[in-house]
């Protein structure tokens, strides 16, 4: 017997509008100030009426285009009825049979293999508020904060096209990257602007070749990429054990809803979901339908600009980057790629620019927990003052990195950026001098030092060793030369020592 | 909807609306709701062949508002009608995460 994991994801994305979906309350993550962002509409006061936020619909359409969905020419909103204290109307305004977009896909790559993940639909709905339960176990009242109630959400439902936990994680990461690129959401999982439910089951192939699907389980409220991966792996193992024990197939039992306990690393059974029919969807009479013309659809397509997948391909092509480097740079987000392109253009060497960004710059950003927007060195400064000096053999690459580290220390102390490229360049010049890192272009001076080192009594053994074929012996000699001339280029020194020994 | 409404149907509807009905009320509403449905049943006499379903009772579409922040209610005002608050949240009887709505 063998099995295949089958996963489909439902992703909820909060749109970054200024206001809520149906009222003018501010759309802001504000858990420390409960119930200050509400009005008669989002608290469901009698007689209040919702009016659709134009920007929310516009961001929703951008989302649809980015995930290759078709935009409906006619769409409407429906009431999804259920009782829960975080939803004061006792219905959620959502979309049932005529969502604003359908039939898309997202390309992902896992372990070098391209996969096309189908997207069934994306619809626009409102978020609920937040319940906080008494954790003391004494059965105290639950607290309700309605700040979030009415926040615009796009729900993106994938086909069950993912075949492993790793694929599900990659799909989610690519989706997040895409949606942050087009500025429709900040996709902050800690703050709940990106939330994920996973539908998981197994396709089992029995020993006699018979294929059987196990019952589908929905794992709710996964709020980290790692959580998605771990929960799916856990579910697959759990379902496999149950199948071997009971042989239960899809249809034998109702679809189960489970929660994910990140601390214990386990899924657990949750309240049974009311059947879909019990939501008693019907068109919301408070809202009118929306129609979209072909011209409007085209305008959305034209507004998107370059998406991450296209940008990766272009970087590989235009700057001769490896697939890996292109992927690392693009995955850092739009601003980082703009910074990269600016460095690459200024120094004319895409590969060097990539090395600097993926190593030095990213390391400093991570250590200091700053974004590229707050990075103290401008793209122009990095290119002209450091990378180009290496290219022009004014300093060695090793020296450039030492100077870079010193510049970052400066920043750590003053917390001030080098806004002015001229001042920055002067500082680099000053450091080169102070640290004695100028590459010695005067070969005469270098020759003198090399000759002196080779003439030393104590070095004769190393010279003999090298002549005898021991390549490593040259290292000790190089070290002595470099100690005397700090800015010497290691390659030049090495070459000179070897030539001189061979000519002895 | 010519089928008669059963007591079970009314029990289910009451549960979904979180209404607790006595046996007597269940009888009353089973009978009354059936009458309401019978009345609405008249609509089934209309021939709706080849007629597009309506999404809204009036022929209006694309009503939007601009994404501009309006003042919200103060917390005090928002909470003032609630039966129970702690001064910053609405308080509701404990929600049992593991309980089914039926239990």
Per DSSP bridges, beta strands A113-126 and A101-110 are: antiparallel
Distances in Å between the alpha carbon of A133 and those of A36, A205, B80, B99? 20, 43, 22, 14
Going by C-beta distance under 8 Å and a sequence separation of 6 or more, which residues neighbour residue A147?
A28, A30, A31, A33, A34, A35, A36, A37, A38, A129, A130
| A405 CB-near residues (< 8 Å, 6+ apart) | none
The single-letter DSSP state of residue B85 is B
Nearest in space to A215 (alpha carbons), one of A232, A197, A203: A203
As given in the structure block, the two tokens for residue B54 are 């309506």
Give all domains of chain A, ordered by start, each with its CATH number: 2-295 (no CATH), 306-435 (no CATH), 443-502 (1.10.10)
Locus of tokens 């002595």? A480
Strand (E) or helix (H) holding A131: strand A130-132
Stretch 136-165 of chain A: residues touching chain B, C-beta under 8 Å? 139-146
Distance set, CA A151 to CA A22, A64, A283, A477 (Å): 8, 18, 20, 69
Taking the CA of residue B30 and the nearest CA in chain A, the distance in Å comes to: 19
List of chain B residues whose C-beta atoms are within 8 Å of the C-beta of residue A132: 89
pLDDT in tens, B16-37: 888 899 999 999 999 999 999 9
Cross-chain residue pair B89–A145, CB shorter than 8 Å:
yes
Q: How would you classify residue A376: left for phi > 0, otherwise alpha for psi between -120 and 50, otherwise beta?
A: alpha
| CA end-to-end distance (rounded Å), chain B | 30
B55: nearest CA partner in chain A: A283
Nearest CA in chain B to A145: B89
Q: How confident is the model at residue B78 (pLDDT cuts 50, 70, 90)?
A: very high
Across chain A, what does the average pLDDT equal? Answer: 91
Contact flag B90-A144 (C-beta cutoff 8 Å) = yes
In a mutational test of the A interface, the residue from B14, B65, B68, B75 whose CB has the highest number of chain A CBs within 10 Å is: B65
Helical residues (DSSP H) of A27-164, grouped into ranges: 54-66
Domain ranges of chain B: 1-67
Predicted pLDDT at A274: 47
Q: What is the pLDDT of residues A200-250, one digit of tens each?
A: 999 999 888 899 999 999 999 898 999 999 999 999 999 999 999 998 999
Q: Are A141 and B93 within 8 A, CB to CB?
A: yes
Lowest mean pLDDT among A75-79, A329-333, A487-491: A487-491
**ipTM for the whole predicted complex goes beyond 0.90:** no
Contact: A288, B64; criterion CB under 8 Å: no
Q: Which tops the pLDDT comparison, A118 or B4?
A: A118
The nearest CA of chain B is from the CA of A172 a distance in Å of 27
Q: How many residues does chain B have?
A: 103
Can you tell me the mean pLDDT for A262-275? 76
Closest CA to A418 of A385, A376, A361, A386: A376
Q: Do A57 and B64 touch (CB under 8 A)?
A: yes
Q: Which of A54, A141, A285 is opposite residue B92, by nearest beta carbon? A: A141
> Max alpha carbon distance in chain B (Å)?
57
The pTM assigned to this predicted structure is 0.83
Within 8 A of A19 by CB-CB distance, chain B residues are 67-70
Q: How far apart are CA A153 and CA A300, in angstroms?
A: 19
Given a contact cutoff of 8 angstroms between Cβ atoms, the answer to whether A435 and A487 are in contact is no
The string of DSSP letters for A365-384 reads: HHHHT--GGG-SS-HHHIII
Please report the number of interchain residue pairs, chain A to chain B, with beta-carbon separation below 8 angstroms.
Answer: 137
- What the block records as the tokens of A255 is 């679809």
Q: Does A259 touch chain B (CB under 8 A)?
A: yes
Indicate the class that CATH gives domain B1-67. Answer: mainly alpha
Give bridge partners of residue A203 from the DSSP assignment.
Answer: A4, A213
Nearest CB to A288: which of B56, B90, B101? B56
Q: Inform me whether the C-beta atom of residue A301 falls under 8 Å from chain B C-beta atoms.
A: no
CA B36 to chain CA centroid, Å, is 16
Q: Which helix (H) or strand (E) holds A221?
A: strand A217-222
Cα–Cα separations (whole angstroms), residue A120 to A101, A331, A362? 9, 25, 37
CA-closest candidate to residue A157, choices A13, A39, A257 = A13
**Dmax over Cα atoms in chain A, in whole Å?**
101
A271, A276, A280, A287: best to mutate for the B interface, most B CBs within 10 A? A271
- Which residues of B fall within a CB distance of 8 Å from A34? 75, 88-89
User: Which residues, listed in sequence order, are joined to residue A8 by a DSSP beta bridge?
Assistant: A199
pLDDT tens-digit series, residues A360-396: 999 999 999 999 998 989 999 899 888 988 888 888 8
- Write the pLDDT tens digit of every residue in A291-309: 999 999 999 999 998 999 9
Q: Which of A25, A221, A288 to mutate to test the interface with B (most CBs of B within 10 A)?
A: A288
Is the predicted pLDDT of residue A504 greater than 50, yes or no? Answer: yes
Quote the minimal CA–CA distance from B60 to chain A in Å.
6
- Taking CB atoms and an 8 Å limit, are B55 and A38 in contact across chains? no
Of A256, A189, A272, nearest to A11 by C-alpha is A189
* In contact, A168 and A139? CB cutoff 8 Å: no
Q: Give dist(CA B52, CA B45) in Å, integer.
A: 17
pLDDT surpasses 60 at A468: yes
Residues of A in Cβ contact (< 8 Å) with B87: none
């Amino acid at each position: 017997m063998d099995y295949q994991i089958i996963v489909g994801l439902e992703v909820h994305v909060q749109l970054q509008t200024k206001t809520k979906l149906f009222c003018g309350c501010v759309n802001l993550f504000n858990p420390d100030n409960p119930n200050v962002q509400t009005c008669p509409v989002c608290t469901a006061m009698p007689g209040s009426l919702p009016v659709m936020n134009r920007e929310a619909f516009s961001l929703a359409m951008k989302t649809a285009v980015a995930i290759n969905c078709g935009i409906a020419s006619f769409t409407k909103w429906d009431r999804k009825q259920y009782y829960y204290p975080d939803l004061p109307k006792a219905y959620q305004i959502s979309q049932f049979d005529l969502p604003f977009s359908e039939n898309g896909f997202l390309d992902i790559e896992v372990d070098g293999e391209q996969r096309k993940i189908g997207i069934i639909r994306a619809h626009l709905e409102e978020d609920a508020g937040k319940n906080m339960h008494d954790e003391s176990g004494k059965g105290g009242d639950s607290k309700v904060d309605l700040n979030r109630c009415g926040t615009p959400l796009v729900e993106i439902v994938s086909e069950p096209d993912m075949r492993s936990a790793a694929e599900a994680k990659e799909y989610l990461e690519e989706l997040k990257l895409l949606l942050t690129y087009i500025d429709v959401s900040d996709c902050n999982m800690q703050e709940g602007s990106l939330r994920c439910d996973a539908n998981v089951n197994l396709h089992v192939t029995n020993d006699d070749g018979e294929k059987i699907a196990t019952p589908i389980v929905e794992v709710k409220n996964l709020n980290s990429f790692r959580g998605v991966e771990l929960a799916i792996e856990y579910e697959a193992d759990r379902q496999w054990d149950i199948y071997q024990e009971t042989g239960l197939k899809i249809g034998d039992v109702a679809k189960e809803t489970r929660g994910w306990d990140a601390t214990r690393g386990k899924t657990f059974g949750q309240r049974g979901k009311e059947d879909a029919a019990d939501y008693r969807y019907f068109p919301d009479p408070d809202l009118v339908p929306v129609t979209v013309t072909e011209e409007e659809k085209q305008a959305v397509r034209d507004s998107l600009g370059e998406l991450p997948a296209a940008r990766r391909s272009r970087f590989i092509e235009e700057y001769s980057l490896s697939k890996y480097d292109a992927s690392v740079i693009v995955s850092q987000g739009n601003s980082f790629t703009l910074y990269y392109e600016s460095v690459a253009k200024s120094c004319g060497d895409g590969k060097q620019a990539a090395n600097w960004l993926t190593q030095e710059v990213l390391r400093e950003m991570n250590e200091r927990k700053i974004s590229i927007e707050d990075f103290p060195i401008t793209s122009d400064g990095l290119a002209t003052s450091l990378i180009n000096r290496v290219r022009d053999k004014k300093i060695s690459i090793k020296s450039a990195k030492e100077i870079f580290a010193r510049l970052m220390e400066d920043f750590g102390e003053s917390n001030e950026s080098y806004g002015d490229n001229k001042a920055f360049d002067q500082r680099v010049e000053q450091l080169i001098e102070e640290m004695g890192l100028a590459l010695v272009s005067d070969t005469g001076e270098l020759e003198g030092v090399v000759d002196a080192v080779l003439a030393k009594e104590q070095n004769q053994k190393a010279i003999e060793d090298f002549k005898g074929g021991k390549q490593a012996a040259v290292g000790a000699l190089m070290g002595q030369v470099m100690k005397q001339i700090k800015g010497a280029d290691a390659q030049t020194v090495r070459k000179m020592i070897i030539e001189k020994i061979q000519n002895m | 909807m010519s089928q008669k409404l059963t007591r079970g149907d009314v029990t289910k509807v009451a549960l979904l609306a979180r209404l607790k009905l006595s046996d007597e009320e269940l009888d009353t509403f089973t009978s009354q709701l059936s009458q309401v449905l019978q009345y609405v049943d008249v609509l089934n006499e209309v021939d709706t062949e080849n007629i597009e379903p309506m999404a809204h009772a009036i022929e209006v579409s694309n009503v939007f508002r601009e994404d501009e922040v309006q003042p919200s209610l103060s917390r005090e005002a928002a909470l003032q009608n609630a039966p129970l608050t702690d001064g910053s949240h609405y308080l509701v009887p404990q929600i049992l995460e593991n309980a089914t709505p039926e239990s």
